[in-house]
C-alpha cells in the first residue's frame, strides 16, 4: 500500500501498486496544472474519476470509436477530462493526466440497451422455458403474460422494486452496458415509481426511466407522468431521463400518448403479433399518429403498410433477438427494418428467460440475419441481402441505441465532447488471444469476463474486473429475500428442476 491509500483500499486501486495506473508527472506545467495534480494525488484514481479537473489518459489501446470522423486506431489514446472525452488520436501528450495502460485492451463506447424489464431481476431463469402468451397447451400454461404480469408483478412492494432495479443495473454495468431504457411495468403506486427511479439512480449508470403501466391504484399511471417529469426529470442534461410507455393493449392508451407528447417525451410500446395487436396498430398507421418520437419494441408480425408508416414517420425499432426467437414473439424483423432504412437498436428484454448481457444480443442479431441471408443465397437468389458484419452489429449495440433514445449528443461513440461512457475489453484473455480482428473479437468471441474497465460520464464504475462502490454479497442477499417474498405471495413453489 502506498502513502495515498487507506488500509481498506484494494491493491488494484493503489496508484503505486497497480501496473496499469500511473499518476501525473510532477514538477512541470502551470500553477493551475500543479494545483490539479495536488488534488488528484490526494486519492486513488477511481475515487476522483469523473470529477472536474481530473484528467485521465487511456494509453495504447485498440480504439473502436463508432464515429466515422474520428476513425479507429490499431494503437491509440483517449483523453478524458472530468465527465467528457476531450481527444481521441493515435498519440496524445498529456503530462498532467493519470495514465491508464490500455495496451492489450479494446477501447470502445459502452453498450446501450433500449428495452430491459429490470424489476424482474430477482426472478432470473424462473421462466426459462416459457413462451410469451398462453396458447392453450398444458406445457405452456406457465407463460410470461400470466405468470409474470398477472401474478408475480402484482406482489411487488416498493422495496422489491428498488433492489431488483439496483441489482439489475449493477449486473449490466459489470457486463459493459452503460445505458438502459428500463421498461418498468410496475407502477402500482407513486411509491413504486419512486423506488424504480431510486434504483436506477443508485446503480450509477445512464438510465432512461420507462414509465409504463401499473395495476393497483389506477391513479399513478399515466397521470403521474407530469409529477415525475417535474420532480426527477426537469432537465434532459443528466444521467437519468424519461420515456413514456404507451401500450396499445392497455385501455385508454390514447391518454398516455397525449401526456407523453405534451411533456416532450418519447412514446415507447411493445408491438407483438401474439398479443393480437396487428389490427389496432394498422389503425394507428392509417391515422398517421406515428412520429420520430416513437420507439417500437419487437415489431413482429406487422403488415407492410404499418411498417411503411412507421418508417416514413422516422420511428425507431428496438429488437430483442434471442428473446423474440425463444418466446414466440414472432421472427425478429431484422431485415425488414434494415431494408426500410430504420434506426435499429438491441435490447435484452427479460432476464426471467434470457441473459441481459450484450454479447448475447449481438451474436443473436448477427447469426440470425446471416442465417436468413445465407439460406437465400444457397437457394440461388441473386438479390439475397448483404451479410451483416461485426462492426455493423456493434453500431446497433452502441450509437444506434443512443440515437433511438435521443442520447446521441451525450453517448454512443468515442467522440470529443461527448460524455466518457467507455469500455476497456480484455483482448489478451484466453478466449480471445491472439487478437486478429477487433470488431470480430468483440461480437463473436467475448463475454462479460472480458469487460475489464467501465466508465460512465468519466467515472470508473468497474476497474480491472472489479465492480466498485457496492457490497454485492449484501445486495445479493437482499435480492434473494425479495425473491422469496414474491414467490410466496404468488403461491408458487420454487423448484430448481422444473
Of 367, 385, 404, which residue constitutes the final position of a domain? 404
33: pLDDT strictly greater than 60:
no
Alpha-carbon distance 118 to 425, whole Å?
24
Tell me 419's DSSP state.
Answer: B
CA 45 to each of CA 52, 100, 200, 448, 471: distance values in angstroms, whole numbers, following the listed order: 13, 10, 24, 23, 20
**40 and 78 housed in the same domain:** yes
Task: Establish if 383 belongs to a structural domain.
Answer: yes
Can you give the CATH number for the domain in which 419 is found?
A: 2.30.40.10
- Mean pLDDT over residues 438-465, rounded? 97
Which stretch of 29-43, 424-438, 451-465 has the lowest confidence by average pLDDT?
A: 29-43
Task: Establish if 5 belongs to a structural domain.
Answer: no
3: pLDDT strictly greater than 50:
no
Residue 179: CA count within 13 A, CB half-sphere: 34
**370 and 438 housed in the same domain:** no
Task: Establish if 299 belongs to a structural domain.
Answer: yes
**171 and 42 housed in the same domain:** no
Our measurement of the distance from residue 195's CA atom to the centroid of its chain's CA atoms, rounded to an integer in Å, reads: 19
> C-alpha grid cell for residue 348?
435484452
pLDDT the model gives residue 13: 44
CB 35 within 8 A of CB 24: no
**365 and 422 housed in the same domain:** no
- Mean pLDDT over residues 20-45, rounded? 46
- For 384-430, write each residue's pLDDT tens digit: 999 999 999 999 999 999 999 999 999 999 999 999 999 999 999 99
pLDDT the model gives residue 331: 96
- Mean pLDDT over residues 98-118, rounded? 97
- For 328-378, write each residue's pLDDT tens digit: 999 999 999 999 999 999 999 999 999 999 999 999 999 999 999 999 999
Can you give the CATH number for the domain in which 231 is found?
A: 3.20.20.140
264: pLDDT strictly greater than 60:
yes
1: pLDDT strictly greater than 60:
no
pLDDT the model gives residue 136: 94
**304 and 426 housed in the same domain:** no
**105 and 191 housed in the same domain:** no
More confident residue, 21 or 109: 109
- For 271-322, write each residue's pLDDT tens digit: 998 777 778 899 999 999 999 999 999 999 999 999 999 999 999 999 999 9
155 lies in which domain range? 111-404
**265 and 253 housed in the same domain:** yes
**157 and 293 housed in the same domain:** yes
- For 308-329, write each residue's pLDDT tens digit: 999 999 999 999 999 999 999 9
| Total number of domains in the chain | 2
pLDDT the model gives residue 16: 45
Q: What's the count of helices (H) and strands (E) in the chain, helices before strands?
A: 16, 18
CA angle, 69 then 72 then 74, to 5°: 155
Give me the percent of the chain exceeding a pLDDT of 70.
Answer: 91
**337 and 422 housed in the same domain:** no
CB 485 within 8 A of CB 160: yes
Task: Establish if 461 belongs to a structural domain.
Answer: yes
**253 and 353 housed in the same domain:** yes
468: pLDDT strictly greater than 80:
yes
**126 and 210 housed in the same domain:** yes
- Mean pLDDT over residues 113-135, rounded? 97
> C-alpha grid cell for residue 68?
466515422
What confidence tier does 39 reach under pLDDT thresholds 50, 70, 90?
A: very low
Task: Establish if 347 belongs to a structural domain.
Answer: yes
- For 73-92, write each residue's pLDDT tens digit: 999 999 999 999 999 999 99
**204 and 346 housed in the same domain:** yes
pLDDT the model gives residue 41: 39
pLDDT the model gives residue 44: 59
- Which pTM value belongs to this model? 0.92
- For 205-250, write each residue's pLDDT tens digit: 999 999 999 988 778 899 999 999 999 999 888 999 999 999 998 8
Amino acid at each position: 500500500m502506498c502513502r495515498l491509500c487507506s488500509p481498506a483500499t484494494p491493491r488494484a486501486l493503489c496508484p503505486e501498486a497497480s501496473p496499469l495506473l500511473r499518476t501525473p508527472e510532477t514538477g512541470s506545467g502551470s500553477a493551475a496544472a500543479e494545483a490539479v495534480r495536488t488534488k488528484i494525488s490526494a486519492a486513488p484514481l477511481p475515487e476522483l474519476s469523473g470529477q472536474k479537473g481530473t484528467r485521465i489518459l487511456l494509453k495504447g489501446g485498440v480504439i473502436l470509436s463508432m464515429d466515422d470522423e474520428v476513425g479507429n486506431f490499431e494503437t491509440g489514446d483517449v483523453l478524458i477530462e472530468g465527465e467528457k472525452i476531450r481527444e481521441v488520436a493515435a498519440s496524445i501528450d498529456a503530462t498532467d493526466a493519470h495514465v491508464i495502460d490500455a495496451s492489450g485492451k479494446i477501447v470502445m463506447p459502452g453498450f446501450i440497451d433500449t428495452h430491459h424489464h429490470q424489476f424482474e431481476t430477482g426472478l432470473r431463469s424462473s421462466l426459462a422455458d416459457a413462451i410469451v402468451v398462453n396458447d392453450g397447451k398444458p406445457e405452456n400454461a406457465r407463460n410470461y403474460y400470466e405468470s409474470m404480469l398477472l401474478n408475480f408483478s402484482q406482489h411487488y412492494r416498493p422495496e422489491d422494486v428498488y433492489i431488483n432495479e439496483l441489482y439489475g443495473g449493477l449486473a449490466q454495468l459489470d457486463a459493459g452496458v452503460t445505458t438502459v431504457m428500463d421498461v418498468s411495468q410496475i407502477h402500482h403506486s407513486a411509491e413504486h415509481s419512486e423506488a424504480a427511479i431510486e434504483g436506477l439512480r443508485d446503480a450509477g449508470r445512464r438510465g432512461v426511466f420507462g414509465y409504463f403501466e401499473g395495476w393497483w391504484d389506477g391513479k399513478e399511471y399515466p397521470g403521474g407522468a407530469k409529477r415525475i417529469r417535474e420532480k426527477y426529470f426537469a432537465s434532459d442534461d443528466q444521467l437519468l431521463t424519461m420515456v413514456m410507455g404507451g401500450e396499445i393493449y392497455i385501455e385508454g392508451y390514447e391518454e398516455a400518448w397525449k401526456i407523453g407528447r405534451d411533456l416532450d417525451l418519447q412514446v415507447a410500446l411493445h408491438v407483438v403479433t401474439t398479443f393480437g395487436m396487428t389490427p389496432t396498430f394498422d389503425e394507428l398507421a392509417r391515422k398517421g399518429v406515428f412520429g420520430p418520437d416513437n420507439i417500437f419494441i419487437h415489431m413482429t408480425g406487422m403488415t407492410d403498410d404499418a411498417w411503411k408508416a412507421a418508417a416514413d414517420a422516422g420511428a425507431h425499432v428496438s429488437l430483442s433477438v434471442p428473446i423474440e426467437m425463444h418466446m414466440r414473439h414472432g421472427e425478429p424483423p431484422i431485415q425488414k427494418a434494415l431494408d426500410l432504412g430504420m434506426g435499429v437498436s438491441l435490447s435484452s428484454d427479460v432476464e426471467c428467460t434470457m441473459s441481459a448481457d450484450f454479447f448475447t444480443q449481438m451474436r443473436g442479431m448477427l447469426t440470425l440475419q446471416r442465417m436468413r441471408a445465407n439460406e437465400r443465397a444457397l437457394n440461388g437468389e441473386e438479390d439475397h441481402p448483404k451479410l451483416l458484419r461485426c462492426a455493423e452489429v456493434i453500431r446497433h449495440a452502441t450509437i444506434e441505441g443512443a440515437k433511438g433514445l435521443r442520447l446521441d449528443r451525450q453517448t454512443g461513440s468515442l467522440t470529443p465532447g461527448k460524455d466518457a461512457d467507455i469500455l476497456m475489453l480484455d483482448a489478451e484473455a484466453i478466449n480471445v488471444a491472439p487478437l486478429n480482428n477487433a470488431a470480430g473479437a468483440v461480437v463473436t468471441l467475448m463475454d462479460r469476463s472480458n469487460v475489464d474497465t467501465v466508465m460512465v460520464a468519466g467515472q470508473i464504475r468497474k476497474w480491472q474486473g472489479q465492480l466498485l462502490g457496492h457490497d454485492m454479497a449484501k445486495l445479493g442477499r437482499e435480492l434473494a429475500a425479495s425473491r422469496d417474498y414474491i414467490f410466496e405471495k404468488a403461491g408458487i413453489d420454487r423448484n430448481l428442476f422444473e
